[in-house]
Amino acid sequence: MEKDNEKRENGKNPNKKLRFLIDILLWTLMIAIIIGIGVYIYTTQKKNHSEENILSYTDLVKEVDAGNVEKIEMTVGSTTLKVKLKDVEEEKTAIIPSTQVFMELVQQKTLEGSPINLEQKSRSILSQVPSYIVSLLPTAIMLALFIMIFKMQGIGEKGEVYDDTERKVKVSFDDIAGLDEEKEELKEIVDFLKKPKRFTEMGAKIPKGVLLYGKPGTGKTLIAKAIAGEANVPFISMSGSEFIEMFAGLGASRVRKLFEKARKLSPCIVFIDEIDAIGSRRTSNSGAETENNQTLNQLLVEMDGFSSEETIIVLAATNRPEMLDKALLRPGRFDRQITIPVPDLNGREAILEIHSKDKKLADDVFLKNIAEDTAGFTGAELANILNEAAIIATRKEHEAITNKDLDEAVKKVTVGLEKTSRKISEKDKKLTAYHEAGHAIVSQFLPTQTAVKEVSIIPRGMAGGYTMYKSDEDKYYISKTEMEEKLIALLGGRAAEKLILNDISTGASNDIEVATKIAKDMITVYGMSDVIGPISLKDNDGQLEYQMFGDDMQDAIGKEVKKLIDIAYQNAQEILKQNIDILHAIASELMAKEKINEEEFNKFFN
Ligand code: ATP
């Protein structure tokens, strides 16, 4: 939600898309109405002209001679007559060869003394409307289609680039918590924007591009806006994915328009989010990729074309730096690269402080506790936790957000919403209880794994139950032993199922998936296998690359991954066998209480 607001503020106006959809709906409606009118006219005409209703001229003369005609209605200039016969309710339509021939018949009958009751009408404009509509129908449909295509192109041409851009950005560096070194580095960019002359007079070239690398939600957009806010310059933003168009050449045209606008607003910041969508390595393929290449080429051309009077700094963000085309990183383009890390403990606490400013917190709330429990969380996730806590507190009618509300919010964000109303069979309850107890007990005996915080068999999100561990301290490296023990903890659930129920279930699928990924990375990315050695076997796109080492390497990788998993599974079973009484006791406690906390769990080990 918060992020949505942010994006709206950026000028990435979602209303545009809504308006575009409404336009399409209106055009479709218009075409449908035109077709509807056409079909209506066609069917009524068809009805009037249906076989039994039509009189040929010979039939008409016969009916006149027989004195069966009550009245004839004739529109001036028309060769179609409306004929009312005596004793027949429905009017008939008579087609005459020409008005002259018919008028001769009328004269003849008058002379014979049996005049025809003829009513002559002048041609009204209204009566001609249906035939005009029918004749204009194809032209109208073509016109509507053309306008629709132009509108779509218009979105491509103008896009969201022009919206809101001149509005002053109100974000400043004070709104960004943590990231002190990064802010320090970026202050230089603020100086370039504020006093470009100072640098150019010295002969320095103003940098053109800064690339921000970091996981989604680490605050890259926030930083870009804060730079514009600090320098008091306009902020133009667009997302890489918005450049990707189904019409060839539109992506490049959007880039051109974006920079045209930037030149007019200089000095300014151009922010391109998700640059990997257009900036991924160029290929020689055709179709969509050629369109992508054109867009990227246009971006490079624009960046190369800045003149010394123009102070435009392009900030781009990505979380997949390895995907970027090398040409983007050359000097004179995005030659400055700044990594935006996931916040550490102090950073998390500071982010929580900033986002709790507009929230009502109970006096005993200690944000440091939440910061300790959320290692690895990004700024966006932390902001989300506070928002969820505020919603939970409101729903529970609390006076202010309590520690419990915050705890619940962390669980909701990490594992999902608690589903207390879901009916669970006794068999499934038992299976989940042993599975979760298995994880918890195994981790308790592994020195590198963090302490158990809560074990529950109440379903949450997609999980039937969960074991929550205390958060780890911030660390930059993970050792091989730690990874091996993680594998054991992950397989503790499956091991308990096998040991106690002598059967295995689908409940362990996620554990197995995570464990296999860790084992594969240990072998192919971190070089942790003695058999294979310290060799990186994955390319930049994460694809396995063993071909150059021959088929034996493929075999060896498979064997090494399997060995790691097998050993971990055996170890998990071993730990549980040795503590089988505790396993039964914790599983029964879980079946009775559904949830046990850290204190209750630790009692089983005293
Ligand atoms: P994405 O890659 O998904 O676009 P991003 O890195 O650009 O993500 P932002 O959109 O800048 O992330 O951050 C989302 C929200 O998270 C911000 O609007 C802000 O509320 C919060 N946030 C992130 N980092 C910080 C921080 N360091 N200080 C304060 N708030 C932060």
Atom of ligand 1 nearest to the CA of 350: 28
Pocket flag, ligand 1, residue 344 (CB < 6 Å): no
Q: What is the CA radius of gyration of the chain?
A: 38
What DSSP character marks residue 474?
P
- Above 60 in pLDDT, residue 364? yes
Least confident of 103-112, 352-361, 517-526: 103-112
Pocket flag, ligand 1, residue 272 (CB < 6 Å): no
Q: Compute the distance from residue 322 Cα to the ligand 1 centre, in Å.
A: 21
Reduced to 3 states, what is the DSSP secondary structure of residue 52? Answer: helix
Residue 281 binned pLDDT confidence (cut-offs 50, 70, 90): low
Q: Compute the distance from residue 341 Cα to the ligand 1 centre, in Å.
A: 11
- Which residue among 183, 222, 223 is best mutated to probe the pocket of ligand 1, counting the most ligand atoms within 8 A of its Cβ? 222
Q: Return the pLDDT at 49.
A: 58
- Above 70 in pLDDT, residue 455? yes
Question: Closest residue (by CA) to atom 11 of ligand 1?
Answer: 219
Q: Compute the distance from residue 418 Cα to the ligand 1 centre, in Å.
A: 27
Pocket flag, ligand 1, residue 7 (CB < 6 Å): no
Dihedral Cα 446, 447, 450, 454, nearest 10 deg: 50
Question: Closest residue (by CA) to atom 4 of ligand 1?
Answer: 216
Pocket flag, ligand 1, residue 216 (CB < 6 Å): yes
Of the candidates 63, 160, 182, 436, the residue annotated as catalytic is 436
Residue 50 binned pLDDT confidence (cut-offs 50, 70, 90): low
Rounded to two decimals, the pTM is 0.65
> What's the rounded Cα separation, in Å, for the pair 491 and 498?
11
- Which residue among 8, 186, 218, 227 is best mutated to probe the pocket of ligand 1, counting the most ligand atoms within 8 A of its Cβ? 218
Atom of ligand 1 nearest to the CA of 223: 11
Summarised one tens digit per residue, pLDDT across range 283-299 is 555 455 566 677 888 88
Residue 159 binned pLDDT confidence (cut-offs 50, 70, 90): very low
- Tell whether the torsion through CA atoms of 101, 103, 109 and 111 is positive or negative: negative
Q: Which residue has the higher pLDDT, 445 or 109?
A: 445
Pocket flag, ligand 1, residue 351 (CB < 6 Å): yes
> What's the rounded Cα separation, in Å, for the pair 41 and 374?
69
Average pLDDT over residues 492-518: 91
Q: Which tokens hold the place of 55?
A: 């009189």
Pocket flag, ligand 1, residue 221 (CB < 6 Å): yes
Do 604 and 582 form a contact (C-beta atoms < 8 A)?
Answer: yes
Helix (H) or strand (E) holding 270: strand 268-273
Tell me the percentage of the chain whose pLDDT exceeds 70.
85
Reduced to 3 states, what is the DSSP secondary structure of residue 597? Answer: strand
> What's the rounded Cα separation, in Å, for the pair 215 and 213?
7
Q: Compute the distance from residue 349 Cα to the ligand 1 centre, in Å.
A: 15
Give the angle 176-278-327 at the CA atoms, nearest 5°: 95
Question: Closest residue (by CA) to atom 29 of ligand 1?
Answer: 176
Nearest in space to 412 (alpha carbons), one of 458, 352, 349:
458
Question: Closest residue (by CA) to atom 22 of ligand 1?
Answer: 379
Do 251 and 291 form a contact (C-beta atoms < 8 A)?
Answer: yes
Token pair 């409940």 is found at 507
Q: Return the pLDDT at 302.
A: 85
Name residue 210's amino acid. Answer: V
CA distances from 361 to 101, 112, 178, 352, 374 (A): 97, 106, 21, 12, 18
Average pLDDT over residues 4-8: 39
* Max mean pLDDT range (67-76, 146-155, 528-537): 528-537
Atom of ligand 1 nearest to the CA of 318: 2
Catalytic (active site) residue 6: no
Beta bridge partners of 120: 74
Give pairs for 79-83: CB < 8 Å, separation 24+. Answer: 83/55
Q: Compute the distance from residue 340 Cα to the ligand 1 centre, in Å.
A: 10
Question: Closest residue (by CA) to atom 9 of ligand 1?
Answer: 219
Pocket flag, ligand 1, residue 196 (CB < 6 Å): no
Q: Compute the distance from residue 2 Cα to the ligand 1 centre, in Å.
A: 10
Q: Compute the distance from residue 6 Cα to the ligand 1 centre, in Å.
A: 9
> What's the rounded Cα separation, in Å, for the pair 348 and 334?
29
Residue 389 binned pLDDT confidence (cut-offs 50, 70, 90): very high
Atom of ligand 1 nearest to the CA of 354: 29
Q: Return the pLDDT at 105.
A: 82
Q: Which residue has the higher pLDDT, 282 or 277?
A: 277
Q: Compute the distance from residue 186 Cα to the ligand 1 centre, in Å.
A: 16
Residue 163 binned pLDDT confidence (cut-offs 50, 70, 90): very low
- Above 90 in pLDDT, residue 28? no
Q: Which residue has the higher pLDDT, 319 or 588?
A: 588
Q: What structural domains does the chain harbor?
A: 2-46+128-155 (no CATH), 50-123 (3.30.720.210), 160-339 (3.40.50.300), 345-414 (1.10.8.60), 426-605 (1.20.58.760)
- Above 50 in pLDDT, residue 82? yes
> What's the rounded Cα separation, in Å, for the pair 334 and 316?
8
Token pair 């400043």 is found at 172
- Tell whether the torsion through CA atoms of 118, 123, 124 and 129 is positive or negative: positive
CA distances from 64 to 86, 97, 241, 261, 383 (A): 11, 16, 76, 79, 90
**Within 13 Å of residue 143, how many CA atoms lie on the same side as its CB?**
7
Q: Compute the distance from residue 171 Cα to the ligand 1 centre, in Å.
A: 12
> What's the rounded Cα separation, in Å, for the pair 568 and 486?
9
Q: Return the pLDDT at 241.
A: 78
Q: Return the pLDDT at 152.
A: 59
Q: Return the pLDDT at 288.
A: 55
- Which residue among 1, 2, 3 is best mutated to probe the pocket of ligand 1, counting the most ligand atoms within 8 A of its Cβ? 3
Average pLDDT over residues 479-499: 95
Token pair 């090494």 is found at 560
Pocket flag, ligand 1, residue 179 (CB < 6 Å): yes
Question: Closest residue (by CA) to atom 13 of ligand 1?
Answer: 219
Q: Which residue has the higher pLDDT, 443 or 72?
A: 443
Do 33 and 133 form a contact (C-beta atoms < 8 A)?
Answer: no
Average pLDDT over residues 353-361: 91
Q: Return the pLDDT at 9.
A: 39
Mean pLDDT, the chain, rounded, equals: 82
